[in-house]
Amino acid sequence: MTRVEEAVQRLRSELEQKEILEAACGCAEFSIHAAKYAKTVQSIDLDSRRLSPKVKGCQNLTFCEMDVTAMSYKDDSFDTVVLYNAIGHLWDVLGKAVEECLRVLRVGGNLHIISSVKMDKHVISHDLIPMVQQKKHSFLVTEEGMFTDVQIKK
């Protein structure tokens, strides 16, 4: 099982028959695997240059060029929002990115910030967790094997 397949399996109950957003998706590898379980998956990134051609083979997966800090989605649009191995790339806009992800998340849903890389884990421990604590968001940090998952509840 690949790293991304393992991440999707860990979140399977949060994906099954739900409307999912993967923000700052890069090549959209998480979205491609999540589409096997989700009702719909929306993937966004600043550009499509890294996007996997496998996206075209997923009927319930849509990609849009969009900035995670200024999404055009309506409030409460998604059941689950995921940032997969992306938080290290967003450290300079971290507050805006998290708040925007929470804005488009439905009440009762979860924002999962998942990392399996050192760069992200540094941003999680030194920037994300202090920010989430300061804003008094309800959150849970799970570390298993190579994965760190910061789950923020709306």
Alpha helix positions (H), the chain: 3-10, 12-15, 29-34, 94-104, 118-123, 129-134
CB atoms within 10 A of CB 20: 26
CATH architecture under which domain 3-153 falls = 3-Layer(aba) Sandwich (3.40)
- Amino acid identity at 109: G
Q: What is the pTM of this model?
A: 0.96
Confidence of residue 97 (pLDDT cuts 50, 70, 90): very high
**Tell me: the pLDDT tens digits for 20-51?**
999 999 999 999 999 999 999 999 999 999 99
Confidence of residue 137 (pLDDT cuts 50, 70, 90): very high
Contact predicate 42/80, CB 8 Å: no
The residues spanned by each domain of the chain are 3-153
Res 134: pLDDT:
96
